[in-house]
Structure 1
Amino acid sequence: MKKLMMLGFLTCPLLAHAYVLPICESDTFSQTIKQKYDSIDCGSHHGLFITENAKNLLGAIDNKGKIIIDNEYEQIDVQDNYPYFYIQKNNLWGVADNKGKILIPPIYTQIQPYHENTGVFVVEKHGKWGIVNQHNQIVQDFNYSRIDAFSDGLASACKNNQCGYLDKNGNTVINFIYQDAYHFNKNYDLALVKNNTSYQFINKQNKAILSFNHKDNIIPDQNIINGFITVNFYDKKSNNEYFGLYNTHGKIILSPIYEYIYYDKEKLPIIVKKDGKYGLYNKNGKKLLDEKYTFIDSYNCGVAQIIQTIGGQEQIGYIDIHGKFVIDFNQKPQLIKTSDALAYLKINSKDKSCQEITSEPMIEIFND
């Protein structure tokens, strides 16, 4: 049985979480249509359903069973944000739309996920990368050792061991002067680059906003989450890694002295671990709780569990987002577990509940 691939935001070519193609048991299709295929994916992707025939080849039909994409492909990747289907034939990749039109014939080794309605695809052929439009016309020749997916209107690219940035027309926007270059963050218009002396976050005018000298052994993460840049410091003496946080203006929020940093939603505090003990800071780097606790859990409904150990015995309390105790260590809260795994705290006969938690950017950093 083949695998249907789902594409999210990626900077690497056609790699994603894979889902085994199921046999659809729903009433969406008649028995006559079902008998034509070994399996049908029950989930609709831009109005199409992926099918697999007796030869283990994939295609797609609409909700009436009409063939939209013929069953002649070894693999089909789906990009949910856009109505494109990445098709593989003879181990080469192309692109079809949800009308069954072949936009890009399967002649490329790799194709980067489509982003931002640029109207172009980043493709690899014979070990070199280039850019083609939706009619497979060359926008940028195959002269590059690497071109990443477009992000914030630009694509990081490398050739002749130097990296820079291209726009959707293939024009060089930032010259190829860096040892390495990463994607632009569309929320902050910043990208991480590496040169001979430092890592830098640059803007689209190629101005360095934040710089980390290589001799300081501090390596920043390329991703910016909730306005924070995570940095990694390697201590050669102890052979340990430590973590810190900067904001996008270059201000140090937390120095890189922590074994563990966890931050979730924008308004929630930052949980840290230092010398094996947990503490709490706000998003401006102000200390809310000293690093003296056995554990501080992530926040749920604006409340986090906190544990201290006294005389070998663990005591449990609960704190709010300001680090204030809503349930002290000597209180015994009543916990009510719900079917959706949210915990509701009952304090002084008054229920404190929360709304459904939505998915938001989250990062957890630690060393072993």
Structure 2
Amino acid sequence: MLYPIERNNKFGLINRLGEEVVSPRFFGLGTPTKEGTVATVSGDSFGVIDHTGTFRIPAIYKSLGNFFSCGLLSAARASKHGYIDVNGVTVIDFLYLSASHFSEDRASVKTGDRQYSFLDKSGRINGDRKFEQVRFYSDGRAGVVLNGKMGFVDLNGDLVIEPRYDSLATGNFSEGHAFVCELSKTVLKCGLINKSGNAVLPLDFSGVGSVYKGIVKVSHFGGTAYVRVPSLDHSDLFDDATDFCDSHAFVKTEQAWHIIDSEFEVKGRVDYDNVNPFRAGCAIVEKDSKEGLVDFHGAALSSIDFDELQHIDGVLYEFVRGRESGYIDLKENVVWSSRA
């Protein structure tokens, strides 16, 4: 795993030990993957480098996607977009006005003004319909917009859930469910549907989250709770709550944050102003405008004195503290840093 660094407005890469494997010399870098890292040589000159900083795909493209997905990378020559493989070979011709990353072996391409279609890795267009907006595939479904309303298509590009939902507030499918919303007399009402479009939770809520291991967060005008699907068993009502992740969540009651597990049992109370969902066994919390890390019991894993903390991969965290910025590990060792 490699991590991007910045020094004197130039970008390079380090490894998990903080060793510079690519010195900062590029104008920009994409997300490092095993296939390589997209690198910007100038404003309109993009290529792909390997872990040593050597170009494995020359910087001959006007733009490139941020990362490889399903072995392909979106690329642009002049004003048209297509796809290249890890060797820089064109596998889908440069025919489109824009091209997204691949997800579940499907990508979206723009063919005209507010006209989007899906294609597979061979470049074959799926389905005959064109859509005003599209989302990436998740759990075998992709959101599409027709006449300003969102519905869903399957992997063949066929419309399986008719467009009727608010296009901005509706989510993506996860664990066979998606949260959907409708605007009714200026009030947004949300619920949960399955992959056939049938309602699992009625559109009676002010907010609904994504399903995590059969648990979904729902908000009503009186507070927030968790509901299990499909049993519809539910937790107590809380003043506020985060989404579940790593089988834990934060809930707020009586002006204090608590940690609960997936059985809705309280594991501990934490004295913080703001909290974020757990990821890789820890969570970023805030106290008096400073941030730090805590575990499932609320015990501090770091000092709470960072101006900013960002989860990367559970091994390293990106930080800003005063004029210093860089990466720390879970023992709060500074792996790499620079000063403004």
| TM-score, structure 1 as length reference | 0.57
Among 283, 290, 293, which residue is 2:262 paired with? Answer: 283
Equivalent residues of 2:73, 2:101 under 8 A apart: no
Task: List gaps (5 residues or longer) in structure 1.
Answer: 1-5, 7-18, 29-36, 236-241, 307-338, 344-368
The one-letter amino acid of 2:236's match is L
Q: Is 1:274 aligned with 2:264?
A: no
**Residue matched to 2:325:** none
Among 108, 115, 120, which residue is 1:122 paired with? Answer: 108
Give the drift of 1:226.
Answer: 4.2
- Residues 306-345 of structure 1 aligned to structure 2 (within 5 Å): 340-342=329-331
User: Root-mean-square deviation (CA), in Å?
Assistant: 4.3
- Residues 1-80 of structure 1 aligned to structure 2 (within 5 Å): 21-22=11-12, 45-48=33-36, 50=38, 57-60=45-48, 69-80=57-68
**Residue matched to 1:11:** none
The one-letter amino acid of 1:121's match is A
Among 157, 166, 179, which residue is 2:153 paired with? Answer: 166
**Residue matched to 2:139:** 152
Report the Cα distance in structure 2 between the residues aligned to 1:60 and 1:233, rounded to whole angstroms: 48
Report the Cα distance in structure 1 between the residues aligned to 2:26 and 2:299, rounded to whole angstroms: 50
Residue 252 of structure 1 aligns to a residue whose secondary structure is coil
Residue 225 of structure 1 aligns to a residue whose secondary structure is coil
- Residues 60-139 of structure 1 aligned to structure 2 (within 5 Å): 60=48, 69-90=57-78, 92-116=80-104, 118=105, 120-125=106-111, 126-139=113-126
Mark the structure with the bigger radius of gyration: 1
Give the drift of 1:211.
Answer: 1.6
Report the Cα distance in structure 2 between the residues aligned to 1:179 and 1:41, rounded to whole angstroms: 35
State the aligned residue count. 268
Residue 173 of structure 2 aligns to a residue whose secondary structure is coil
The one-letter amino acid of 1:139's match is N
Give the drift of 1:66.
Answer: 9.0
Relative distance call for 1:54 and 1:90 in structure 2 (3 A) is: same
Residue 22 of structure 1 aligns to a residue whose secondary structure is strand
The one-letter amino acid of 1:110's match is S
Percent of residue pairs identical: 15
Give the drift of 1:287.
Answer: 5.7
Equivalent residues of 1:139, 1:169 under 8 A apart: yes
| TM-score, structure 2 as length reference | 0.61
Task: List gaps (5 residues or longer) in structure 2.
Answer: 283-293, 301-327, 333-340
**Residue matched to 2:172:** 183
Residue 253 of structure 1 aligns to a residue whose secondary structure is coil
Deviates more, 1:75-84 or 1:41-50: 41-50
Relative distance call for 1:142 and 1:107 in structure 2 (3 A) is: farther
Report the Cα distance in structure 1 between the residues aligned to 2:255 and 2:78, rounded to whole angstroms: 53
